[in-house]
Structure 1
């Protein structure tokens, strides 16, 4: 039995962890920690969690917790992921793993030194749809791939107190939403992109409420292909997560790569013939927990560990630099 402690009485935890764990017999949530005991206790009572802690250090001192789920603002991800690793715990950390690539490299180094797993929670990656789309793109059915375009938009109007909009907490459209298209672009291209341009729309605090980027892939199976990324939290934008891959024989479009269990479609148009299909699977979070259990039991790295999350943060850094977004100062281990 893998015993889990949660950092943060966060809104994402029930759908991303608590409910999926309740469907399993090999994991259980045994504790939650928050900055205030009142918050932790209320959350524990609501979700049937046996223990509540005031402060994260107290939870780390418990010797009956195997895995820590970090559901804190991005500004706190590395600090508390590293603390959990040093305390001998494995970690599943919400995305993005860090504030920047330097922090990500530090966290990866600590995971390697301690011999523990630090897994970034890109749950969508573990759904069978992702592998099916990647394999189709690599099959040659589209011919020579010319472009990969990825987007994620969701209405999240500006609030000066929301972690999604405060730069110092890791807010911004690219950090909150765009990290998914970054991951999709890297995965489908099978290589890391070179960012050729980017622009953003700032909110009142200077964080990006919308951002666009252009890139080129100079290596990998689709070297020469170009890519675009769009992410937006602007008021009124639809919830949409499409990916379009264009080759010299046709196109592939995926609608809702981020939460395919809520409904998705894959449409290909090849040599003038249109086909629409779906890929069976459970909730993305269930597949993610399958991968976490396998990693912890076998000692093998999950797909979204180490080099993968460092590479994602490298791309995020490059997009922000190209767009001219002023980033908050971050200490490597904070």
Structure 2
């Protein structure tokens, strides 16, 4: 993991004094609603504004969650002086535009995963943030989860020896309507970006960027992937077998196996509340989460910690790691023949 960089602009922010962090939510869909609900339960955070492309949608969302200001234009939200940080929860295809708008206005950004549609867009956002010294982080809540962090720490400390294999899956029976966003190439549809980003990010958290990428997929008539298998390889000899699917419900589990044992994460591995460590020749050890935060609160808390510390990058979700995941997702799409209009 890389260490966070410090910005003089961030140090001058009210958030650096330990004040309540004021969030602006850009979008009004399901994930925006969940994030808002969970952040509002944090004692040191407020959601003070929401923006949509329509006044009606913004006002309805604001009324539902008691948010004081609603904007029918994204530009109004990023210009709001009462907003300390912007959470981008638009469809994938708008991440580059929405996050870029906020960064250009000097607003710190937490951007939903997948970070962008491709590595070109991701590189543009990272370059903009670094040039301007503005905080930017992908909303990869898995990396902020204390159970996942503990698991990764044990792996780094050699609890299972040298990693040999990683297995992870994420699948559910998805929509069959060709008009749904998950079936639309213009919106970054398909299993890979919505679901596959989790197994890929999990594997790369433990092993870094792969040296080899192989993949195969079932494509929809619209040209997005519906059922995808990935085989990643590293020069160390480690491999990762990863799957994502919009055609079948899968266990949504993960296993990391090494020369000295293995770690098993139960269903919902990407937001796990426990895991089991099996050391060779020893009985199983179960690790569980301590009390406190839950769900999306972990990523929000990490953003607020970074802002108060004057960091423009999170050591838990480093931008270089985000770029590495995007390169792998691009490589998988290249292998399976999925192209987006914006590529």
Tell me the secondary structure at the aligned position of residue 299 of structure 2: helix
Tell me the secondary structure at the aligned position of residue 193 of structure 1: coil
Tell me the secondary structure at the aligned position of residue 321 of structure 1: helix
Matches within 5 A, 1:11-50: 11-15=30-34, 17-50=35-68
Cα 1:97/1:291, change in 2 over 3 Å: same
Pick aligned residue for 1:198 from 215, 220, 225: 215
Residue 227 (str. 1) matches residue 240 (str. 2): yes
Matches within 5 A, 1:166-315: 166-189=184-207, 191-218=208-235, 223-234=236-247, 236-238=248-250, 240-255=251-266, 256-260=268-272, 264-281=273-290, 282-300=293-311, 301-302=313-314, 303-315=316-328
Partners of 1:94 and 1:52 in 2: how far apart? 20
Partners of 1:195 and 1:213 within 8 A in 2: no
Partners of 1:199 and 1:324 within 8 A in 2: no
Gaps of 5+ in 2: 1-19
Partners of 1:272 and 1:152 in 2: how far apart? 31
Tell me the secondary structure at the aligned position of residue 164 of structure 1: helix
Query: What displacement does 1:274 show?
Result: 4.1
Q: Work out the number of aligned pairs and report it.
A: 319
Matches within 5 A, 1:81-92: 81-92=99-110
Tell me the secondary structure at the aligned position of residue 284 of structure 2: strand
Partners of 1:30 and 1:49 within 8 A in 2: yes
- In structure 1, the residue matched to 2:180 is 162
Partners of 2:140 and 2:185 in 1: how far apart? 21
- In structure 1, the residue matched to 2:341 is 329
Partners of 2:203 and 2:98 in 1: how far apart? 29
Q: TM-score, normalised by structure 2?
A: 0.88
Once the two structures are superposed, residues 220-274 of structure 1 have per-residue CA deviations (whole angstroms, 9 ceiling, x without a partner) of: xxx221111101121x414x421111223332211122222xxx44233333544
Partners of 1:149 and 1:229 within 8 A in 2: yes
Partners of 2:88 and 2:288 in 1: how far apart? 30
* Larger mean Cα displacement after TM superposition, 69-78 or 147-156: 147-156
- In structure 1, the residue matched to 2:6 is none
Pick aligned residue for 1:10 from 10, 25, 29: 29
Query: What displacement does 1:163 show?
Result: 2.0
Residue 113 (str. 1) matches residue 127 (str. 2): no
Tell me the secondary structure at the aligned position of residue 114 of structure 2: coil
Gaps of 5+ in 1: none
Pick aligned residue for 2:77 from 32, 46, 59: 59
Tell me the secondary structure at the aligned position of residue 29 of structure 2: coil
Tell me the secondary structure at the aligned position of residue 258 of structure 1: helix
Matches within 5 A, 1:127-142: 127-142=145-160
Q: TM-score, normalised by structure 1?
A: 0.90
Partners of 2:318 and 2:100 in 1: how far apart? 14
Once the two structures are superposed, residues 163-198 of structure 1 have per-residue CA deviations (whole angstroms, 9 ceiling, x without a partner) of: 222111111111001111111101111x21123420
Higher relative contact order (CA 8 A, sep 6+): 2
